[in-house]
């Protein structure tokens, strides 16, 4: 287990006095490797809070560049970063917050040829992408790589979060659900508008991304009740949170009793940008 330096003890002392975290928990955070897919509206608060919390290695994958119209929600970037690769801008931001961590940048598209290798190099994945092709690719790759996935998605004034660990079973011996238990397949292209088309209230991205970061930290530390098998729904206009149960679907094509998906080949023909961020 990673040991803490005197500088880290000083920096993380508010964690160290937490009964359920303490030095052992902070050492777990230091030794953890987290991959964040997308450095946008969701990815920005995720990587910011993970860095501040002392997660030892944060990987960021995104091939997009910072645009001025991103800045009302993508708080990892500044006006002067316009035109820069998002992974570079986000790296600089979080290293200013915490220079004691390591940041690994991947300025590339996540696709069927590299997803398993990349995801397999990390302990846990947080998905902040904004298109269905990437979400299903990440979810399927996490299943095959046996990596927990903390999933989040945004609407204009709402958001949704869950944790997928379909390679594990609950207390009754039933497998935890995967994304395909919730939505067996992606909707046809163009059916559901993205935030570029319909807009998103900036602070909503911050709320959902911060909750997503919290779930990542909980998974690393083994704290509290996981969102595995549950979907958290946030309605910002009503200031209302609701949690619904997601059941394992024995007929789902990935982890059901008679699966039809055995690898990532079906994603080779998937359309859409591979790591665009909310």
CA distances from 266 to 140, 168, 200 (A): 10, 24, 31
- CA separation for the pair 217, 207 (Å, rounded): 16
Contact criterion met (CB below 8 Å) for 31 and 53: no
Beta-strand pair 230-235/158-164 = antiparallel
Contact criterion met (CB below 8 Å) for 264 and 115: yes
Burial of 268 (0-12, 13-18, 19+ CB in 10 A): exposed
- Predicted structure pTM score: 0.94
CATH numeric code, 8-269? 3.40.50.720
Segments making up each domain of the chain, as ranges: 8-269
Indicate the angle between helix axes 22-31 and 202-221, nearest 10 degrees.
110
Q: 130-153, pLDDT tens digit by residue? A: 889 999 999 999 999 999 999 999
Q: 81-138, pLDDT tens digit by residue? A: 999 999 999 999 999 999 999 999 999 999 999 999 999 999 999 999 988 999 999 9
């Amino acid at each position: 287990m990673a040991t803490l330096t005197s500088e880290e003890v000083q920096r993380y002392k508010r964690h160290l006095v937490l009964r359920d975290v303490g030095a052992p928990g902070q050492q777990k955070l230091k030794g953890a490797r987290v991959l964040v897919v997308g450095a946008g509206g969701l990815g920005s608060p995720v990587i910011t809070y993970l860095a501040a919390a002392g997660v030892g290695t944060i990987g960021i994958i995104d091939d997009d560049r910072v645009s001025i119209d991103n800045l009302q929600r993508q708080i990892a970037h500044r006006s002067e970063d316009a035109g820069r690769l998002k992974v570079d801008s986000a790296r600089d931001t979080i290293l200013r917050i915490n220079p004691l961590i390591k940041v690994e940048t991947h300025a590339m598209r996540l696709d069927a040829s590299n997803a398993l290798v990349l995801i397999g190099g990390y302990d846990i994945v947080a998905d902040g992408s904004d298109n269905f092709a990437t979400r299903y690719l990440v979810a399927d790759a996490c299943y095959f790589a046996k990596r927990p996935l903390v999933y989040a998605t945004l609407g204009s004034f709402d958001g949704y979060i869950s944790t997928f660990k379909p390679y594990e079973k609950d207390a009754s011996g039933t497998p935890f659900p995967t994304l395909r238990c919730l939505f067996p397949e992606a909707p046809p292209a163009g059916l559901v508008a993205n935030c570029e088309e319909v807009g998103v209230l900036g602070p909503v991205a911050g709320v959902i991304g911060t909750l997503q970061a919290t779930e990542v930290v909980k998974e690393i530390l083994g704290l509290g009740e996981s969102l595995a098998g549950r979907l958290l729904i946030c309605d910002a206009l009503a200031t209302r949170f609701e949690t619904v149960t997601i059941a394992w679907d024995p007929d789902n094509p990935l982890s059901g009793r008679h699966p039809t998906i055995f690898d990532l080949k079906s994603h080779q023909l998937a359309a859409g940008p591979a790591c665009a961020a909310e």
